[in-house]
Structure formats: C-alpha cells, structure tokens
Amino acid sequence: MAELKNRLQAVLQQIHDAETAAGRPAKSVQLLAVSKTWPAAKLRELAQAGQQHFGENYLQEALAKIEALADLTLTWHFIGPIQSNKTRDIAAHFDWVHSVDRLKIAKRFSEQRPADLPPLNICLQVNIDDEDSKSGASPEDLMQLADDVKQLANLKLRGLMVIPKATDDTAAQHDAFQRSFILYQSLQQQLPDIDTLSMGMSGDLTAAVANGSTMVRIGSALFGRRHTQASG
Ligand SMILES: *Cc1c(COP(=O)(O)O)cnc(C)c1O
C-alpha cells in the first residue's frame, strides 16, 4: 500500500514541478492513472489514496474491473484501439473515450450511449508523427472530423489525444508536443468549448506539461513495469 501511495505522491509532485516550471497554474494538469494489466485491488488502493481517473486499454479486462470497483465513484477513460463490435460496451460503461479517430466510430458511440447517462466525453486521437503503425486521424483531416463529431447528440467533444513516436530524446519530445499544442489551439479557435489535450506518459510527462498538456496518462511510473499483455 505504502509504495503505491508514495508513487502517486511522486507523480503528483512531478506534475506540480512541471506546471511551476512552465509558469502554469497548479492543478491545470489532470492525472489519468493508466491501469491496464493491473488487478482491481491495485486500483482500489490508488483510489483510496485519492486517485479519481483511471484509463484502460482492453475492454474485457476493463469491464471486470469496473464491476469490481462499482462501489467507488471513479471516472473511467477508454484509451485503447476501438473495434466497431466493442462500441456498445464502451458507450455503456465508460465516461470518456480518448481514442476516437473516425466518424463511423463516433456515430456508433452517440447512437449507443444509454439515455440515462450524460454525454460521453470524447477526445480525437491524432497521429501526430504520421506513423503507419499507429491509429489516429491525420492532422489534415482533424478539423472536419471535429466539426462532424461536434454535431452528434450524445457526445461531448473535449479535445485531442496524441501518442507521439516513442523517444528518449527530449528535443524530439518537445517538437511533437509543440506541434500537438498548435493543432489543439487551432481546434479551440474553431470550437471554443474544447478543454482537453491528453498527452504525456511516464517517460515524457514533463515535456508534455511544458507544451500545454491538460491530462497526462501515466501507467508504469505509478504501478511499476507491466509484465503481461492482456487482450480483449
Ligand atoms: C499504456 C498507455 C499509457 C501509459 O504508458 P506508461 O509509459 O506506462 O506511462 C498511456 N497512454 C496510452 C494510450 C497507453 O496505451
């Protein structure tokens, strides 16, 4: 217990230091705890230490944890690749989806969002480094996609999510995050309600906050290294 709590404190401190260094207000960056592959008991420990937002990549694994932790009022974010046949369960059980990259999927979410729930919060995933291996809309298609998603009744478009090419080179990290922030700002001009830039992971949190991230998605720095790869 103590160890996980200490890691949470350390990550929150790192976020705070990065905010200060960037001249940004305290608490302008939210922490999303990425809990894929970790059992529900670990998430419960972190929730008891005050963590509210959890991110999951694999639907079956996530649904089991959401059920196991139903006595807590947590906020669940789906951040993994989305297959069409999974949209109904995602729409019914999550509060946010960060990985929407095409209109077809967004339309399904809007149609399938249960009527008794508030609109599903949506971030559009952008393939900022134009990598073949990665999902995400291209920066050129983003504005049109955002306009179309904005029309869908049961969704609330919140912003963008980016996963830049993995690198330890700080200059390259800043470059990709800077390009993401410019896109985010132009989207905000078109749609002033937009308030979320989901970027930064354990290895590049500080660079992401320096370049305007509003939500960092942190897995290994909180939970430790992942050994297994779940699926579904
Ligand atoms: C796994 C994952 C993370 C967390 O990565 P860490 O390097 O463990 O912090 C963040 N975002 C997405 C989309 C992920 O799949």
Residue nearest to atom 11 of ligand 1 (CA): 217
In angstroms, what is the span from residue 116 Cα to ligand 1's centroid? 31
Q: Which residue has the tokens 């897995």?
A: 219
Looking at residue 230, its pLDDT comes to 54
Please state, rounded to an integer, the average pLDDT across all residues of the chain: 95
Q: Which residues line ligand 1 (CB under 6 A)?
A: 34, 36, 57, 79, 163, 201-203, 217-221
Q: What is the pLDDT of residues 90-119, one digit of tens each?
A: 999 999 999 999 999 999 999 999 999 999
Looking at residue 232, its pLDDT comes to 46
In angstroms, what is the span from residue 228 Cα to ligand 1's centroid? 14
pTM of this structure = 0.96
Q: Which residue has the tokens 């420990």?
A: 45
Cβ neighbours for 215, distance < 8 A, ≥ 6 positions apart: 29, 30, 31, 32, 53, 196, 197, 198, 199
Region label for 22, one of left (φ > 0), alpha (ψ between -120 and 50) or beta (otherwise)? alpha
Cα Rg, the chain, nearest whole Å: 17
Residue numbers in the chain where pLDDT is lower than 70: 1, 228-232
Looking at residue 229, its pLDDT comes to 58
